Structure 1
Amino acid sequence: MANNQWGPAPGQYPPPPGPPVSGPPQPAYGNYPVQPAPGFGWGPQFGPGPGSGQGQGGPQYLMPPGRPPRRSSRKGLFIGLALVGVVGAVVLVGAVMVGLAAQSPDDGPTTQPSPQATLPSPDLPPETATTPVPPPTAPTATQATSRPPATQPTAKPTPRKPSPQTVVTRDGFYFTGLQASVGCKDPGLPINNQRNTQNYYALVIQCLNKAWPRQVTAGRDTFRPPKLVFWSSRVQSPCSGGATVSFYCGVSETIYIKYNDDMALWRDRPDALNRRITRLWVTFTAAHEYGHHLQQVSGILPASYELGYDNYAPREQMLAISRRIEIQASCLAAVFVGANRSSYGLTGAKLQAWRFIQDGTGDENKPGGERDHGSRASNSAFMRQGFATRNNAYCNTFTASASKVS
């Protein structure tokens, strides 16, 4: 475990809200880890309180052994698939209701697949087979010089699909400049019950839906807001059937929030500073998982999957790609928080609480687990850059050296 050179000095901040808990090792298939479906992102790694599953043990890869067919499309790989078997209350982002009623954990609507579009048939010329056509005659010299040469229509070349490496390193999303504030404010709700916790997340997602469309479209990608599912004990998704932490699934373009973990943090650490940390942890978790959605709609997440799993990459290479994905999602979360620093009131003790999360997120919080989210030092360095610059260009983990995303 490496020391975090950017981290707080001993005694400067309180200890993390609860000791980190290690998880079971990941199952493997041959020399490769058994992977979830493409477009999959786990929640950030932090040291939450006792009884919480948030951030503990890392991802549990639950896809059965075997490999799915190779994907070839850069993005939009997973649009229109049905989401079934979801356990938890579903909140559609963009239709946020502050007075959200508590929902039964057994409820879960199903998203129907979009019908396949039918292309119109081109207009055909009238039938001319019944009209006799005279045989061609050899042109005279005069005819040969007086007629313009026949020209054949030139077919337009098919645009060349960019390589996965080009997408992850040079997508237009990286070059969209500073993010402007959308005046996002801390909802300020206590994280003490299901209703308040879900409303808190929904309000943060509402702000994220206002903050990111301009930069996605400026990068010549298509913005779509994610869906939001809350769950507590178990949930089914197209990406994973037995998750233990919050995660994002690109197949359904849905953020799955395990809200009871945040309630455990609030309950187990009742002092004022840790309550601030818990509120900002909710904001950060929402913004981190939203970062995975931005990777999905920009094509970065599907392309990273092609670089690794579709190319049968060795286990260590897969983990290195995972670290780049996760650190980037945390950096994008910091871009959003930095852009709304003033309206969110990040000064004094509240800023101290944010820095505690910024410097305390990393694989060290799950000793013995896979190095799939990046070290505290790497996460802190990128999050500090994102927070200070408010610029996506500083979140390009795919052009960083291996030592920067360790």
Structure 2
Amino acid sequence: MFRRRRGGVVPDPEQDDRQPGNSPLAIFGVLGVVFLIVLVAVVAEPGKLLAGGGADSETTAVPEMRDGVPQPGFDPVALLERNPLNSKNASLEPADCRLPELAESEAGMRSYYEAAVRCLNTLWRPVVVGADLSWAPPEVSLRSRTSDCSETEGSSRPTAFYCDGTIHMPRQWVLSDIGAREPAHLILLAHEYGHHVQQRAGMLRASTVRQQESEVRSPEWLRISRRLELQADCYSGMFMAAAAEGGTLRDRVAERFVSATGSAELGDTHGSPENQRDWKLTGFRERTTAACDTWNVPAERVR
């Protein structure tokens, strides 16, 4: 009665055009089959029929990046909220960092920081590459001035900062603010290294683009800054846990420094002292990049 051709089923032209009437039993039978199919579809994929399509239909893909830089025209919201680092339960291996003694001289501090950064490279490289992101190690500098990032030396100056692939740990600033306590230097360095991880993931660039959409120091501008800084705090907690597990630091020492409340001086841009502590503890206890996702949490967690 029917013959098939590519594209579907068509009636046989030799068949009589007249169609028999539809009986009530046949109609109810067809409706029953249709209802069953719809019911199965709703049970199997409950959101699709009711929402007008799957979640993927309105999802903006995470943009392609080259050497940590998103391609032109990228969506910064997608890169921050659906970043591959934020969706993976990636963790750091135990860290047995072979570090020299921390000395207060410029040569001594440089030697210590360079050794610590090599250890951080070993830990973070597999995590970044495992998220299908490109990798390059950061530089470390003891200078406070750079042509790329302007840093003031007023009362609001940071203790250290990250700029364009370089971690700046200005010797005089660091010694003035935290002294020569080795764990304090490690957690500070790990925080700035966290910004390098964000740079490799494109999150630094994406956050800058989002901030440019708001007035400088407006509530939204500051909220973006805090999300960025608190994520770096969480990454530093991850490192301190790895350092304690690997024997670089004693457990109690690492936890004591992670549990300390943060600074109130930079609270507007870095988060409240309590939130700084809480995000470091989150990284220390949960130890995954997914747990450090500050871009998809309520505003009160990034105040």
TM-score, structure 2 as length reference: 0.69
**Helix, strand or coil at the partner of 2:140:** strand
Determine if the alignment matches structure 1 residue 286 to structure 2 residue 182: no
**Helix, strand or coil at the partner of 1:248:** strand
Candidates 294, 300, 303, aligned match of 1:403? 300
**Helix, strand or coil at the partner of 1:320:** helix
Runs (4 or more) in structure 1 with deviation over 6 Å come to none
Rounded to whole Å, the distance in 1 between the matches of 2:126 and 2:177 is: 34
**Helix, strand or coil at the partner of 1:294:** helix
- CA displacement, residues 185-205 of structure 1 (integer Å, 9 cap, x when unaligned): 362513332222111111110
Determine if the alignment matches structure 1 residue 206 to structure 2 residue 118: yes
* Residue correspondence of structure 1 range 72-111 to structure 2 within 5 A: none
Q: Which residue of 2 aligns with 1:30?
A: none
- CA displacement, residues 293-346 of structure 1 (integer Å, 9 cap, x when unaligned): 111110111111111124547611111111111110011111122123222344
Report which of the two structures shows the higher radius of gyration computed on alpha carbons.
2
Rounded to whole Å, the distance in 1 between the matches of 2:68 and 2:213 is: 15
**Deviation for aligned residue 1:172:** 0.8
AA aligned to 1:336 is F
Q: Say which structure is richer in helix.
A: 2
Q: Indicate how the Cα distance of structure 1 residues 310 and 401 shifts in structure 2: closer, same or farther if over 3 A, else same.
A: same
Candidates 293, 298, 316, aligned match of 2:219? 316
Rounded to whole Å, the distance in 2 between the matches of 1:169 and 1:345 is: 33
**Helix, strand or coil at the partner of 2:291:** helix
Tell me if structure 2 keeps the 8 A contact 1:172–1:218.
no
Q: Which residue of 1 aligns with 2:160?
A: 246
Q: Which residue of 1 aligns with 2:286?
A: 389
* Residue correspondence of structure 1 range 97-246 to structure 2 within 5 A: 163-181=75-93, 183-185=95-97, 187=99, 189-231=101-143, 234-240=144-150, 242=152, 244=157, 245-246=159-160
AA aligned to 1:396 is D
AA aligned to 2:257 is I
Tell me if structure 2 keeps the 8 A contact 1:167–1:303.
yes
Residue correspondences, number: 236
**Helix, strand or coil at the partner of 1:187:** coil
**Deviation for aligned residue 1:75:** 5.2
AA aligned to 2:298 is S
Tell me if structure 1 keeps the 8 A contact 2:191–2:236.
yes
- CA displacement, residues 346-403 of structure 1 (integer Å, 9 cap, x when unaligned): 43xxx44433432334342x2xx55111112212222112112220001100111111
Could you tell me which runs of 5 or more consecutive residues in structure 2 were left unpaired when the two chains were aligned.
Answer: 1-62
Determine if the alignment matches structure 1 residue 360 to structure 2 residue 287: no
Q: Indicate how the Cα distance of structure 1 residues 290 and 336 shifts in structure 2: closer, same or farther if over 3 A, else same.
A: same
AA aligned to 2:149 is C
AA aligned to 1:215 is V
- CA displacement, residues 47-94 of structure 1 (integer Å, 9 cap, x when unaligned): xxxxxxxxxxxxxxxxxxxxxxxxxx9755997xxxxxxxxxxxxxxx
**Helix, strand or coil at the partner of 1:395:** coil
Q: Report sequence identity in percent.
A: 24
Tell me if structure 1 keeps the 8 A contact 2:96–2:248.
no
TM-score, structure 1 as length reference: 0.52
Rounded to whole Å, the distance in 1 between the matches of 2:177 and 2:190 is: 18
AA aligned to 2:279 is F
**Deviation for aligned residue 1:237:** 2.9
